[in-house]
Chain A
Amino acid sequence: GAVVSQHPSWVICKSGTSVKIECRSLDFQATTMFWYRQFPKQSLMLMATSNEGSKATYEQGVEKDKFLINHASLTLSTLTVTSAHPEDSSFYICSARDLGQGFSPLHFGNGTRLTVT
């Protein structure tokens, strides 16, 4: 089945630094990847839609200058949390859909636990 790999699985950083999270589709191509965030005991909230070769589309209330998204190839999207603050601590999950499968379910990475101290 389709596999999405996310790296790192967890990261601790100091306030004010930037953190990059990678999302790769391992055995399929994806022109679109989605970035979600989950706070403890809450739902997965869509942050942005990452489009290969073009700008990402951000959901309302998500700062595009803080959460930089780059989708340089059909198998890689990156999310950079810039100038991280403790309130950015969360579980970030990426997802992708197999282009060759028409409308198929989203496949998710295993997530990245970000802790900002």
Chain B
Amino acid sequence: DQQVKQNSPSLSVQEGRISILNCDYTNSMFDYFLWYKKYPAEGPTFLISISSIKDKNEDGRFTVFLNKSAKHLSLHIVPSQPGDSAVYFCAASALKGAQKLVFGQGTRLTINP
């Protein structure tokens, strides 16, 4: 049972344009959401997070949007840069309890010059 889903395995975007990565979740107990960036043979690097009390969080070029009613979140990167090319994982957790993260399958983002 995939509780966190990233339905797009890959995305290709022109440099300078906006990259939008999507994520859906099914578990209504999740109330904290994160995006991680990962290069091959490395561990994930934290990018940005959002709690369920908010619907938007912005940090520089990165903005995460949360739609609780749709159980959907998205990561916007603007402007996209070649260095943004990586695999992006969406993750979710419940603030109470074990606080363990459940990851989506990942989306490979390629920024074309």
Contact = CB atoms under 8 A, between A and B. Distances in A.
A117 interface: no
Contacts, number: 52
B105 A106 contact: no
A6, A97, A105, A113: most-surrounded residue (chain B CB, <10 A): A105
Contact of A108 (B45, B100, B105): B45
A103 B34 CA distance: 12
Interface of B is mostly: loop
A34 B100 contact: yes
B42 interface: yes
B95 interface: yes
Interface residues of B, number: 21
B98 A57 contact: yes
Interface string A83-107: 0000000010101010000010111
B15 to A, nearest CB: 25
Contacts of B34: 105-106
Give the interface residue-count category, chain A.
Answer: 20 to 34
A46 B100 contact: yes
B89 interface: yes
15 contacts: A32-B99, A36-B103, A43-B106, A44-B44, A44-B89, A46-B100, A46-B102, A49-B100, A91-B41, A97-B99, A106-B34, A106-B101, A108-B36, A110-B43, A111-B43
Interface of A: 4, 6, 9, 32, 34, 36, 42-46, 49, 57, 91, 93, 95, 97, 103, 105-111, 113
